[in-house]
Amino acid sequence: MSDPILTYMRNPTPSTIKLPAGATDTHVHVFGPGSKFPYSPTSHFVPVDATKETLFALHAKAGIDRCVIVQSLVHGLDNSAVEDAMITAKGRYLGVAMVPLDVSDTELKRLADVGFRGIRFHFMKGRPGHTPQQVIEFSKRLVPLGLHLQIHFDGSLAKELTPFLIQSPVPVVIDHMGRVDATLGIEHEHFQAVCRLIEHQDFWIKVSGIDRIDANPPYKQGIPFARHLVQQYTEKCVWGTDFPHPNHTHMPDDGILFDSLAQIAPKPDVLHRLLVDNPMRLYRFSA
């Protein structure tokens, strides 16, 4: 077995931006500890543990008060590590789960009751998965529970997925700005298809992933995409670091990601909506 892979900087650059009270990181993961929460045998790599304590410490230094932890493929469909971190954080951290389509209604209700707010699905080229129609049929079961769909897809699939996603009876949250290629430019058809999706009612987008659409720090090509979305769809955007950065082209510096907010949302009122008001509406944190 190969050695565990370290996916995050243990000592990121200290961020300099002053975040508003109630600032929310809406996209992170927790890895392990593997001794307590084993990694999935289907995961194509084993990470170095990135525990809840590591996450809490990162947020404490940066000024993050609330968070949404998203289930990672390294733990497969076992959401226990996320749930454990949520319980420890006592309502300040909520979750997005991954489940099989045949999950029981009892389990879905339990997940909703303990603080999960959405269910995540992937549509990536070359990876096996569910069909869009299967996911939309499944989403009907989420309506009475107040759960939304979180969709992670390759930007080249945005147009193809649109006819299905707009049928969703629950809100849809798009991951990482649709994973477009920033080198193609804002006017490219892939990003424009993502923008058209957001224009539909009850669609949201995470302006996380400047480092995923642009592999070159400090992400001069990625930041304009996030800024464009925040300017054009201010009420539909939330933000996240994606710590601890699995399946990446490089190891991002979280300090740079935090400080990029000064360019993504340079006006204080817009920054407040992005980090505080919008996450509060979407995820229904306790006041």
Digit-coded pLDDT (tens) for 185-221:
999 999 999 999 999 999 999 999 999 999 999 999 9
Is 1 domain-assigned?
no
Is 260 domain-assigned?
yes
Say whether 242 is catalytic: yes
| C-beta separation of 180 from 190 below 8 A | yes
Is 12 domain-assigned?
no
Provide the domain count of the chain.
1
- Structural domain range at position 232: 24-283
Backbone φ/ψ region at 199: left (φ over 0), alpha (ψ -120 to 50), beta? alpha
Is 91 domain-assigned?
yes
CA angle 41, 251, 185 (to 5 degrees): 105
| C-beta separation of 239 from 264 below 8 A | yes
Is 5 domain-assigned?
no
pTM score above 0.85 = yes
Query: How would you write the pLDDT of the chain (287 residues) with one tens digit per residue?
Result: 579 999 999 999 999 999 999 999 999 999 999 999 999 999 989 999 999 999 999 999 999 999 999 999 999 999 999 999 999 999 999 999 999 999 999 999 999 999 999 999 999 987 778 999 999 999 999 999 999 999 999 999 999 999 999 999 999 999 999 999 999 999 999 999 999 999 999 999 999 999 999 999 999 999 999 999 999 999 999 999 999 999 999 999 999 999 999 999 999 999 999 999 999 999 999 87
Show the tokens assigned to 229.
Answer: 């979305």
242, 254, 269, 277: the catalytic one is: 242
Show the tokens assigned to 252.
Answer: 């991002």
Is 201 domain-assigned?
yes
Is 111 domain-assigned?
yes
For 6-17, write each residue's pLDDT tens digit. Answer: 999 999 999 999
Is 17 domain-assigned?
no
3-state SS assignment for residue 267: coil
How many angstroms separate the CA atoms of 84 and 74, rounded? 16
CATH number, domain at 174? 3.20.20.140
Q: Tokens 């054009």 appear where?
A: 232
Tell me which long-range contacts 218-225 makes (C-beta under 8 A, separation of at least 24): 218/256, 218/260, 219/256, 219/260, 221/182, 221/183, 222/182, 223/260, 223/263, 223/264, 224/182, 224/186, 225/177, 225/180, 225/182, 225/186, 225/191
